[in-house]
Structure 1
């Protein structure tokens, strides 16, 4: 989704929906609408079901005003948003809810007006929340043409700060990259393909990658990872990614669990418990996304991402509940 800024004094096209973020007990004002709309908005601010309450969103159809509809997005009491961090989190969450509502309503273009002049932080919050709210994992779904609705494609933050919008969008895109990996089923992402993905991302985004196969895992004394993955037709891998900028001021290591599917092995799970086990690689998905995001944003920090990847399946080579394994630090575990 495109997220842009524009001056509120007329440097944008009035189409799609207008979204006004409002604090409770405050008047809706601004030069984007006429007296009739201001009167309707004021009445809504008095409605018990809305009143600008935190998390409440209401919609007004607009006729012959350029915009087809207006959304009032409640932020709650201004006094409870006194801390900058609380205000940013509130705006981020409300922006996400707004975009989810616009997706349901089939709105493709949204123009946002905040109650106060946007800062770097609030611009970042709007962009991050909007990008997260617009996310949907639908690559394997088909929708009949007669049921297809326009999807959010563009958001304009009036008087927004470009640098804040850029940072917020990158924060959200990094989270969405993690969601994309986590949502892939076990027949699409395996330990081997995750290793291949890491290598490709390293080439594309400029970080180092090394991948150990099952033979290397045994050589290194890593019987734990090796044993979890050996019941599967897809052998385990250990992935080490390193983002190493020239101006690094500190070093961070992240470890993410990468079980591409967890059937329970010989202690097989029930159907209901197994159904969502593609999500057992979410930790690894987060590490992948952090490395990619850090490289895209030129973060001045050396980041090591370590991801053990395996598929836990029942089979003739599966480890048994009473097996004793020796892990890399020399300890034995049962």
Structure 2
């Protein structure tokens, strides 16, 4: 998926769908959407009225252009109340947008980030939308015999021209963060017979080599020498021996140490209290803390 920052008039956007947002406090369509509405002969305002679209968070209306505009569809998504709006909601709206486009099989679209600006925070909104788009587009279909071949190819995030440069940098950061989360989701979604403690340690070593981390993997003998008996006791619930992973990242201008500790049971069978069937299938997720 190619995500890029753009600016310009919505009515001139060359893409398959234009997605904009509306807060509940707005009584009228934004100026940009009004221009699009005029091109479509008032179809947006008519559907907004007919469906009683009031900008409630997550509510969506889709207007087919029917050949009248440069885009095939215009989509309005409710952003809720302005006073309650934050970057997490922007992230969720990005996810909602890409999911709707997947449902419609639209592989190229524009999201109007400028429409979500409350306090000139457009670069932060661009980052949040980028994260939401990538996270919302996530699929784990590795083991499915029939896979959905559809892929979103291009997303434009529109901001005001003066915020374009900073938004490009922010969007790149958002892309890195979201892709890292999706990488983690892939590991978590793998079953316990694939991601064993040893396999998780190998993944950590691969990451360390690729990105320049320091890594030390402790085996069961080293763990015992450190007196981590509770750790060893839990590991006795499996034939797979435990691994203790210590990753260290030292940025050039670091000022203080930050320590993160994550628990990673690659499969939690329940120990003395075996998990029932309904819960057993989700116990692969107990490794998420270490991923």
Using structure 1 for the length normalisation, give the TM-score.
Answer: 0.76
Give the counterpart of 2:241 among 231, 235, 241.
Answer: 235
Which of 125, 128, 138 aligns to 1:125? It is 128
Please name the residue that 1:296 is paired with.
none
Moved more, 114-123 or 236-245: 114-123
* Contact 1:29–1:38 (8 Å) recurs in 2: no
Q: Does 1:88 align with 2:100?
A: no
Residue 168 in structure 1 maps to residue 167 in structure 2:
no
Partners of 2:91 and 2:233 lie apart in 1 by 43
| SS in structure 1 of the partner of residue 193 of structure 2 | coil
Which of 201, 226, 238 in structure 1 is aligned with 2:232?
A: 226
Q: Which of the pair is proportionally richer in strand?
A: 1
Structure 1 CA distance for aligned equivalents of residues 55 and 251 of structure 2: 46
> Is 2:68 the counterpart of 1:62?
no
* Alignment partners' CA distance in 2, 1:94 and 1:34: 22
CA contact under 8 A between 2:17 and 2:71: conserved in structure 1?
yes
Tell me, which stretches of 5 or more residues in structure 1 are unaligned?
286-334
After the TM superposition, which parts of structure 1 deviate over 4 Å for at least 4 consecutive aligned residues? none
* SS of equivalent to 1:19: strand
Q: Taking structure 2 as the reference length, what is the TM-score of the superposition?
A: 0.87
State how far apart, in whole Å, the 2-side matches of 1:236 and 1:43 are.
Answer: 63
Structure having the higher helix fraction is: 2
Change (3 A) 1:8 1:143: farther
1:266 CA displacement = 4.0
| Partner of residue 196 from structure 2, selected from 187, 190, 203 | 190
Contact preservation (8 Å) 1:5, 1:162: yes
Q: 2 CA distance for matches of 1:235 and 1:189?
A: 13
| Deviation (angstroms), 1:136 | 1.3
Structure 2 residue aligned with 1:180, among 186, 193, 200? Answer: 186
Query: Do the aligned residues in 2 keep the contact of 1:28 with 1:42 (CA within 8 Å)?
Result: no
**Cα offsets for 1:45-87 (capped at 9, x unmatched):** 3345422221111111122223221211111233x24xxxx33
The answer to whether the aligner puts 1:110 opposite 2:112 as a matched pair is: no
- Structure 2: gaps (5+ residues): none
Q: Aligned-residue CA RMSD in angstroms?
A: 2.3
Correspondences of 1:309-320 after superposition (within 5 Å): none
